[in-house]
A and B are shown apart, each in its own frame.
Chain A
Amino acid sequence: MIVETGLFALILALFIAAVQAVVPLIGAARGDSAWMNVDRPAALVLFALITMSFGALMWAHVTSDFSVLNVVQNSNTDKPLLYKITGVWGSHEGSMMLWTFILTFYGMAVAAFGGNLPPGLRARVLSVQAMIAFGFILFILLTSNPFARVYPAPLNGDGLNPLLQDPGLAFHPPFLYLGYVGFSMAFSFAIAALIEGRVDAAWARWVRPWTLVAWCALTLGVAMGSWWSYYTLGWGGYWAWDPVENASLMPWLAGTALLHSAIVAEKRDTLKAWTIFLAIITFSLSLLGTFLVRSGVLTSVHSFAVDPQRGVFILLLLLLFTGASLFLFALRAPALKGGGLFAPISREGGLLFNNILLSTAAATVLLGTLYPLFVDALGLGKISVGPPYFNMVLVPLMVPMILVMAIGPFLSWRRGDFMGALARLKIAFVVTAVTIVATLLIAGASARSVWASLGFGLAAWLFCASLIEWTGRIGLFRRSLADVFQRARHLPRSAYGMTIAHMGLAIVLAGITGSLAWKTEKLQVMYPGDSVAVAGYQIKFTGVDNHVKGPNYTASRATFIASRDGQFVAKMQPERRVYTNPPQDKSTVAIHTNFVTDLYAVFGEPDGKGGFVTHFFLNPLVPWIFFGAVVMVFGGMVSLSDRRHRVGAPLRKTRATPVASAPAMPAPATVVVANGERKGLLRGWVYLVPLLGFIVLVGFFIHRLQLTSEGDTPNLIPSVMIGKPAPTFNLPPLLADRPGLKTADLKGKVTLVDFFASWCVPCRAEHPVLPLVTQAGIRLVGINYKDKPADAKAWLAELGDPYQAVAVDAHGRTGINFGVYGVPESYLVDRNGVIRFKQTGPLTPEIIRSKLIPMAEKLEQ
């Protein structure tokens, strides 16, 4: 009953969203305040309905209602309560519900706290919000209904992936979505402004707090995700440049640029079209991330269960929202003309520089993430773009940005004094130089410590400059103490926010530098009682408790005593857990931190002789990365608490007739239509470029989804061995009375070389069709890949032996020489011993008939 109520509330919410999307928009266009005023109650009702629906889903999870499919697939009665609650968004369906819940939460916030917004703007903002909500609710209802029932209800559920049974799940996705979805506010404001045809300082002032909220949440969400992977993955990695991670970084970079360009738009009434563009792009990148994560167009470690059908729907949403908004942008942006002029060297100039680099960085991450897809779609083969690429191209972009980040706040608006700013940074120069020299002296001269010294120098530069800027503002050392206190108290919170956030970034930078430069690790087999030395620590393995009982797992827990110079430092207890539902292993690491360095212990497999594989890491400065991120978020929140972000937004001069004038009649004070038809047309072209680029991108996505639905998944790797002679090998036979196999045996007759193993599940599916190959007159030989001979013999005895020869590749080396990466794989070799065709995955009658046999006949001639 409660579950049906949830579904019903969701359906009802769809209609409310439709009303909220249409009525206030028409009202705003007509200047009809009765219609416009539908927006607030609608947004409140929409939020109430989605809350009800989300609550119903949570209820089903908490009470373990196994008549609901989503609960069956993701929960289990043994699961602790925390994971029953957080497991709600552990699945695709539930996470979309969380997404929609947060979306309507923001709409509610505008309705409840947006009292000072002009009614026309508010109506349009809430209308755009409702359009997005409508799209996502429809998506949930049509493709991902979390309330689907199952009959008969099973007694228990499948449980949640153990990797997700972690406190990280309680925080990481909600904050990430608060960030992603929070940018929908900036997006809605941008669309409302484009429809309305006016962008002014007041608009920028309204957008800033929402952008700031989203930015804080996203920063925290990304940092938490990074921390989660740091303590989960078992090798201390916190960032892997995985497509899904990049999907969260791109909106962050664009959102950071937006945050800064909105300042210029507010204070100087310029860069308006650019700010609008960034607002559109930032949310579009969030949507793109959703698409990438859930459609399976890219391979990632963190993917949800992927489904191309859902991918098509999200792509439609993306096409609709981003396409329409970029179209609107191309129509309206040429008319947005900046007011405030400024010199290249000025506060505006510095912020613009920051924007160039941040947006180039965002575009670069996008390029690198999607490049494999482009190359594949153009039929140029498959390539990978991994961490080495991103590190190489992004460091040169980030270094000048951070250098200038330190100087920018010293420049005045309109026209700055560069040399004057540098003169005020004398102390920062000294501190930077000392940091670099000290790092080199302490760490010794190696390439690694040179890089480390430069990284620390950069961090010191930014940290110090931010501090100097602040002391300069409050007049420290220049004025009387009382005066300094007075000034410190009255300095706007937003100024504090900037200083804190910039210092936070400096801390992150130092953390990344330290962890890259001086990470040490030690890997070994240890027996209880053994000790090892790891970077100055002495770690003693005191024993293993094999009978640790968790709520839904059993574990082996090792105990290590870490000491330094004979002094006890920490007791560390990493575990290897075996979960019951689903039956999966999970390793939990033990971390001892002193807030500068993490000692990180992983407990591995037994060696069968009483020993265990153990792996220790010393991760210097890693805690600073997460601490710095928290400082950045704190800075954002301080800025958010600025009086002017709360109530100080200047009210527009509201006329008796609502501000919502028809878009065709923009207010002359804020919009200057480009002079002359021709110039407007010319400029218009430039504004079309993003839309055209986006359409091309969607084309690539459609092509990729098409390929995937035909079975060519992104991780199906074409063989480079085709057209090359079969590699040299000479393998022993599996069966004593039959010959083995060597390269020369393949010559003279067209031969299919089939790699198989008894442990391989799809091989069992392939086996019955193999006689079709021999019946067609093709010689069929088998190579038993990394198998136990006894198992392989039993397999052939049970299923029959279609092979003319079966050889044993015990260590898989011949497999590697052929380019085998997952059995079953088979290679068609011509009479001269050259490989002509490769089938990855099981052969089917269809493939044998349509591809293999015609090709073999041609080769036989």
Chain B
Amino acid sequence: MKLPFGILATIAMLMMFGADMQHPAIAVEPSEVLSNPVLEARARAISSELRCLVCQNESIDESNAPLAHDLRVLVRKRLLAGDSNAQVKEYIVARYGNYVLLKPPFIEETYILWFGPLALLLAATAAVFVFYKRSAGVPPDPAPLSDEESRSISILLGEPGEHEETR
């Protein structure tokens, strides 16, 4: 037997809301802040790149969930213990997996993600190149209109200045 989806969804909601919806104002609490401003700035930078696990898509720096609080404290503890930024992230990833990284790591699974934009750009450029080759190349330049001519066109069209746009 499988649990009906409705029940699971309700449970998921309860888990989420029970933990999450209490105080939607301030994420980082004064008690968490480190006295060393350099370390604190690093902690903030790291926190903003770690995804809160119980929330709907927020970083732990923005979230009010208790787990986000615990993780922020943990990040600061690791920094105080002398970890580098990368080591702190590794510490969290070792427990929760790559899911917590808002900046996805450069691994086999994410090659398409990281190379995708460049590939798309190259494909679009190639398409434009083919487009140019297909069309018979550069058009011959007609002799430009003299001032006299463009003025008379304006008068004929009854819209002075109109020719400006297609200059």
Contact = CB atoms under 8 A, between A and B. Distances in A.
Contacts of B9: 713
B29 A384 contact: no
A341 B140 CA distance: 9
Contacts of A721: 95
A303, A360, A721 pick with most chain B CB within 10 angstroms: A360
Contacts of A340: 139
A605 B109 contact: no
A95 B105 CA distance: 38
Interface in B47-74: 48-49, 51, 53-59, 62, 66-67, 70-71, 74
A531 interface: no
Interface in A298-315: 299-301, 303, 308
A492 interface: yes
A360 B124 contact: yes
Interface residues of A, number: 104
Contacts of B19: 822
A737 interface: no
A818 interface: yes
B117 A384 contact: no
Interface size class of B (residues with CB under 8 A): 35 or more
A486 B99 contact: no
Contacts of B48: 387
Contact of A585 (B11, B23, B109): B23
B53 A760 contact: no
Contacts of B135: 270, 338, 341
A342 B124 contact: no
B95 A720 contact: yes
Nearest to B122: A360
Contact of B5 (A243, A267, A525, A709): A709
Interface string B114-147: 1011001100110010001001111101000000
A270 B160 CA distance: 26
A762 B121 contact: no
B113 A380 contact: no
A415 B138 contact: yes
Contacts of A495: 164-165
A234 B12 CA distance: 26
B54 A821 contact: yes
A429 B15 CA distance: 57
A711 B116 contact: no
B116 A367 contact: yes
Contacts of A525: 30
Nearest to A717: B99
A383 B120 contact: no
B136 A710 contact: no
Contacts of A717: 53, 96-97, 99
B32 to A, nearest CB: 9
A163 interface: yes
A373 to B, nearest CB: 12
B53 A494 contact: no
Nearest to B51: A384
A538 B125 CA distance: 54
Given A364-B116, A368-B113, A384 B139 contact: no
A816 B70 contact: yes
Interface in B11-41: 11-12, 14-16, 18-19, 21-30, 33
A393 B117 contact: yes
Contact of A821 (B22, B96, B116): B96
B104 interface: yes
Contact of B139 (A233, A299, A343): A343
B121 A816 contact: no
A389 B104 contact: yes
A846 B4 CA distance: 12
Contact of B3 (A585, A711, A813): A711
B56 to A, nearest CB: 5
Nearest to B130: A686
A382 B97 contact: yes
A412 interface: yes
B138 A341 contact: yes
A636 B161 CA distance: 20
Interface string A470-489: 00010000000000001101
A467 B28 CA distance: 44
Interface in A31-78: none
Nearest to A524: B30
Contacts of A385: 102, 104, 113
B124 A816 contact: no
B110 A383 contact: yes
Interface in A394-447: 397, 412-415
Contacts of A713: 8-9, 12
Contact of A383 (B1, B109, B128): B109
Contact of A576 (B25, B54, B56, B162): B25
A604 B25 contact: yes
A298 to B, nearest CB: 8
Given A342-B139, A487-B161, A604-B26, A841 B113 contact: no
B153 interface: no
Contacts of A112: none
A340 to B, nearest CB: 8
Contacts of B160: 486, 490
Contacts of A363: 117, 120
B1 A762 contact: no
A490 B159 contact: yes
A718 B62 contact: no
B26 A613 contact: yes
A811 interface: yes
A27 B55 CA distance: 54
Interface in A796-823: 811-813, 816-819, 821-823
A5 interface: no
Nearest to A274: B131
Contacts of B53: 717, 821-822
A841 B29 contact: no
B2 A711 contact: yes
Contact of A491 (B15, B132, B164): B164
Interface string A275-319: 000000000000000000000000111010000100000000000
Nearest to A414: B139
B58 A842 contact: no
Contact of B125 (A356, A375, A603): A356
Contacts of B86: none
Given A371-B113, A383-B110, A585 B15 contact: no
Contacts of B150: none
Contacts of A822: 15-16, 19, 53-54, 67
B3 A844 contact: yes
A684 interface: no
Interface in A364-383: 364, 367-368, 371, 374-375, 380-383
A826 to B, nearest CB: 14
Contact of A613 (B21, B29, B49, B117): B29
A341 B21 contact: no
Contacts of A604: 23, 25-26
Q: Which 8 A-B residue pairings sit nearest by Cβ, starting from the closest?
A: A386-B102, A490-B161, A587-B25, A388-B103, A821-B53, A720-B97, A341-B139, A604-B26
Interface of B: 1-3, 5, 8-9, 11-12, 14-16, 18-19, 21-30, 33, 48-49, 51, 53-59, 62, 66-67, 70-71, 74, 93-104, 109-110, 112-114, 116-117, 120-121, 124-125, 128, 132, 135-139, 141, 159-162, 164-167
14 contacts: A163-B24, A352-B128, A367-B116, A383-B101, A384-B51, A385-B104, A386-B102, A587-B25, A604-B25, A613-B26, A717-B99, A760-B15, A823-B15, A841-B15
Interface of A: 163, 233-235, 237, 240, 242-243, 267, 270, 299-301, 303, 308, 338, 340-344, 352, 356-357, 359-360, 363-364, 367-368, 371, 374-375, 380-389, 392-393, 397, 412-415, 473, 486-487, 489-492, 494-495, 523-525, 576, 584-587, 602-605, 613, 615, 708-711, 713, 715, 717-721, 759-762, 765, 786, 811-813, 816-819, 821-823, 841-842, 844, 846
